Amino acid sequence: MKKCEKCGRLMATDTCSYCSLKERMSSGSKASPAPSTSSSGSVGKCPECGRVTVAGKCRYCEAMKQHSQKLAEGFKVEVELIRPGSAGANRCDRCGRAMVGKYCHYCGTSVLDEMVQKKTGSKPAPAEVKVPIRASAATNLYVTCNHDDIIPLGADATTELCSVCIDNKGQEIGASFSLMVDGNTEVVKTVQIPEGRCSLNAAIASRSLSSDYAKEHAVTVDLGVDDRSAFRESFSLIVRPRFDLDLNELTNIASRWVTPNSESVKNLLVRDGPIMRALAEMGMESISGYQAGPKEALIQFMAVYEGIRSLGMRYVSDTETMKDESTFYQRVKTPSKLLSEKTGNCIELSCLFASCMESMGLHPMLIYPQGHCICGLLLKAGGIAEISYTPESTDSIEKNLPCFRMQDPDRGDGKRDEYLAVFIECTAACGSLDAADAIKSAMNTIAHDWEFINREHQYNIVYYDRNLKNVRPMVD
């Protein structure tokens, strides 16, 4: 539609109806000052709004009726971003498009809504409008927050609560990132958001979440740009205690409880410690790891058993197991707490054995027959192995002790390195069995339940977990 050069009004045709009427009236025309819409003339006056009609129709009232109908249907409006200083006299407060006077032909204004309500007697249904925010770099950010409903307390000094994923459609910008837990601000930092996709890890100190029981926390994440909030989300999550072991994730996270750098574990390996005394009784003066060969590695493995047996440990089977929907948790002590209390179950004792062996430079294993846990040792360094066992493929290395023969995955040249592995019944250290009998007992248990172990991959090689899965020891 064009504007009249004289009066500035919109023209439905090439001739301005208003100016033409004015000219006829000034020239002495006998046109009625208040023509009826039913007259045969082409120009009249609308009885509702008082505006000029063309051919008996008021374009303003027609447009208002159509808009009222659209509002009643609840039509949706998608809007474009308004840039500062954009051309155009008046802009709609809702969608930002140019208006004719106070009327927006696209979505209407609050002024028009009031007129519709006055004429129809009912308030029109508001259109679903996406209101543009002030134009700035923040309008180019698309942010989501990903988190689990239940998380374990981190094994390290920090625990990650959520991950904030950002897709920046504009240029690199600076932003402020904050994380609140239970109303307390835990993290405040300035970050640079590069162009493209990136993520921010929201992690806080584990000690601030430490608890002996599962606890629900209220978390709020805020991302600010240009001194205003570009993204804010609040959610709740349950943090389980550090010592809760998810039994569904047993083979993925059990190596967290193997803590070779614990002071309590290192005290067992000092010169006058119980393991070193047992090692001296077996004819070895020092810890050598794998340097002296597989037989010496086996002797060190047996010395760990005899040293722990001399501590007078007691086996307790009343394990605290909790069920949360489809997940089972078991409360598992760390090696330092086990040594302090001198009582433990099969998995706690096995993790203590594994901690001692890893501290000695050996590569321990954890294997899980049904409802049980047994500790083992690779008799050669570097064994990231797939277990391959049949009752006829056992070997003996000393004192007629049975060992499993294991193979590394194919290296690509058709060759596979073979290793021997030996296992020991750690709970027997709470009784009278010596190391040799404890090894035989463990081997019989594994052979009896081998089909389940092999089918469900119920074992951990701690060396593999550390180097390929990045499973770190928990802070003990």
DSSP states of 330-380: EE---HHHHHHHTEE-HHHHHHHHHHHHHHTT--EEEE--TT--EEEEESS
What is the model's pLDDT at position 75? 43
% pLDDT > 70, the chain: 68
- CB 266 within 8 Å of CB 360: no
Average pLDDT, stretch 160-189?
Answer: 88
d(CA 116, CA 96): 21
Would you place residue 264 in the very low, low, confident or very high pLDDT band (cuts 50, 70, 90)?
Answer: very high
Listed range (15-24, 67-76, 235-244) with the worst mean pLDDT = 67-76
What is the model's pLDDT at position 335? 94
Please say if the pLDDT value at position 236 is more than 70.
yes
Would you place residue 211 in the very low, low, confident or very high pLDDT band (cuts 50, 70, 90)?
Answer: confident
% pLDDT > 90, the chain: 23
What is the model's pLDDT at position 435? 92
Please say if the pLDDT value at position 422 is more than 70.
yes
Higher per-residue pLDDT: 219 or 77: 219
What is the model's pLDDT at position 248? 81
Listed range (23-32, 324-333, 423-432) with the worst mean pLDDT = 23-32
Assessment of whether the complete model's pTM goes beyond 0.85 = no
Average pLDDT, stretch 34-49?
Answer: 58
Average pLDDT, stretch 22-37?
Answer: 52
d(CA 325, CA 473): 28
Amino acid at the residue 95? C
Would you place residue 83 in the very low, low, confident or very high pLDDT band (cuts 50, 70, 90)?
Answer: very low
Listed range (48-52, 166-170, 363-367) with the worst mean pLDDT = 48-52
What is the model's pLDDT at position 154? 63
What is the model's pLDDT at position 144? 86
Q: State which CATH number among 3.40.50.620, 2.60.40.2550, 3.40.50.11540, 3.20.20.100 fits the domain covering 138-240.
A: 2.60.40.2550
Please say if the pLDDT value at position 17 is more than 50.
yes
Higher per-residue pLDDT: 29 or 235: 235
Please write down the long-range contacts of 446-451, taking CB distance under 8 Å and 24 or more positions apart.
Answer: 446/367, 446/369, 446/374, 446/389, 446/404, 447/389, 447/391, 448/369, 449/369, 449/370, 450/389
What is the model's pLDDT at position 415? 60
What is the model's pLDDT at position 69? 66
What is the model's pLDDT at position 367? 93
Listed range (90-104, 228-242, 373-387) with the worst mean pLDDT = 90-104
User: Where along the chain do the CATH 2.60.40.2550 domains lie?
Assistant: 138-240
Listed range (164-178, 356-370, 394-408) with the worst mean pLDDT = 394-408
Please say if the pLDDT value at position 358 is more than 90.
yes
Phi, psi of 168 (to 5 degrees): -95, 110
Looking at the DSSP bridge assignments, the partners of residue 233 are: 221
The rounded mean pLDDT for the chain is: 75
Would you place residue 374 in the very low, low, confident or very high pLDDT band (cuts 50, 70, 90)?
Answer: very high
| Coil/strand/helix, residue 417 | coil
Q: Which of 62-76, 109-123, 161-175 has the highest mean pLDDT?
A: 161-175
321 Cβ contact partners less than 8 Å away, ≥ 6 residues apart: 247, 328, 329, 330, 331
- CB 354 within 8 Å of CB 283: no
Please say if the pLDDT value at position 46 is more than 90.
no
Closest CA to 456 of 367, 338, 329: 367
Would you place residue 110 in the very low, low, confident or very high pLDDT band (cuts 50, 70, 90)?
Answer: very low
Q: What tokens were used for 322?
A: 């909790």
What is the model's pLDDT at position 239? 85
Please say if the pLDDT value at position 393 is more than 60.
no
What is the model's pLDDT at position 131? 33
What is the model's pLDDT at position 309? 95
